[in-house]
Amino acid sequence: MIRRPAALLLTLLLGSVLVACGDDSSEEGSSGGGGASLESVSIEGEVGEAPEVTWDGEMSADEVESKVVAEGDGAEIGEGDQVFAQIWLGNGTTQEQAYSTYDADQPQLLTVGKDTLSELFLEGLQGQTVGSRVAVAASAETAFGEAGNPQIGIGNKDTVLTVIDLLGTVEDGPQGTDEKAPSWVPSLVGGDEAPTGLDFAGTPKPTGKLQTAVLVKGDGAAVEKGQTIAVDYLGQVYGGKKPFDESYSSQSTSFPIGVGQVVKGWDQALVGQTVGSRVVLAIPPALGYGKGGNEQAGIKGDDTLYFVVDILGAA
């Protein structure tokens, strides 16, 4: 129940882009021949910054074509890895930008796999190294399915160029030094690896102030205001019998921190923590959902929110 990014359109676009909506039997080359290849496109700029793309006429791609524009010296990305990436998409037929995550300066957290990525994006991630910039070209049908992606201005006969900057992978759990929990911290139910709830037996009543406890001190870099972080988390109101939200049973989530995209308690408590840490937060109503609470989640206006948060990565 953390507050999601305000740009809902971003989520909708990524949903249509990243889900492999085409199948292996789709006919490639729907853009036709005669256009320039990927080698004729100039892509300049530093990794992590919006690319400067110069076209040499209309582009075509009869099959998926990729090129490493700049090779990073980080770890190789494999099946199942979660990766922070910036994505630029262009229409090779009209030679125009179609979509870019650089506009909002918000890297996306992608899970590498055939079930989660279309062939266009899988080609740009799997087997590449962190720190790389990779360009991939394909027909719109191969990238998005028979309809193309008209929502971002790519028709089913167009060609798609994507530029992907691979900024870093994320941990699969806390990595660091265990710390002793203070007395106000509830016990974790279900084990340390993937908590399923919080047990408040024997814990004191909330103080009405924001409280933070580090259970694992991560050995990574400190989180900075404005970064996008990847986390697993579980939230439960004080005295509650079950969580109102959690990510351990599904996928890690990501969002900008310290800029008002999540509840104030998260912004105040997580900036400055180190990657790899597990922290427990007690958030008073004023720094959570306020006097109105969150009826949909069963949170009243006077509820104190307790979270366990694993900080898995930052970009």
Q: What is the DSSP string of the chain?
A: -PPPPS-HHHHHHHHHHHS--S-TTSPS-TT-SSSB-GGG-EEES-TTS--EEE--S-B--SS-EEEEEE---SPBP-TT-EEEEEEEEEETTTTEEEEESGGGT--EEEE-STTTS-HHHHHHHTT-BTT-EEEEEEEHHHHH-TT-BGGGTB-TTSEEEEEEEEEEE--SS--EEE-PPPTTSPEEES-SSS--EEE-TTPPPP-SS-EEEEEEEESSPBP-TT-EEEEEEEEEETT-SS-SEESTTS--EEEE-SSSSS-HHHHHHHTTPBTT-EEEEEE-GGGTT-TT-BGGGTB-TTPPEEEEEEEEEE-
Q: What percent of the chain has pLDDT over 90?
A: 74
Q: Report the pLDDT value the prediction gives residue 35, as an integer from 0 to 100.
A: 54
Q: Tens digits of per-residue pLDDT, 287-311?
A: 999 999 999 999 999 999 999 999 9
Mean pLDDT to the nearest integer, 54-76: 92
Q: Tens digits of per-residue pLDDT, 239-259?
A: 999 999 999 998 899 999 999
Report the topology of domain 8-169. Answer: Chitinase A; domain 3 (3.10.50)
Q: Tens digits of per-residue pLDDT, 85-121?
A: 999 999 999 999 999 999 988 899 999 988 888 888 8
Report the topology of domain 176-314. Answer: Chitinase A; domain 3 (3.10.50)
Q: Report the pLDDT value the prediction gives residue 207, as an integer from 0 to 100.
A: 96
Looking at every residue in the chain, the average pLDDT score rounds to 88
Q: What percent of the chain has pLDDT over 70?
A: 89
Mean pLDDT to the nearest integer, 138-159: 89
Residue ranges, comma separated, of all CATH 3.10.50.40 domains in the chain are: 8-169, 176-314
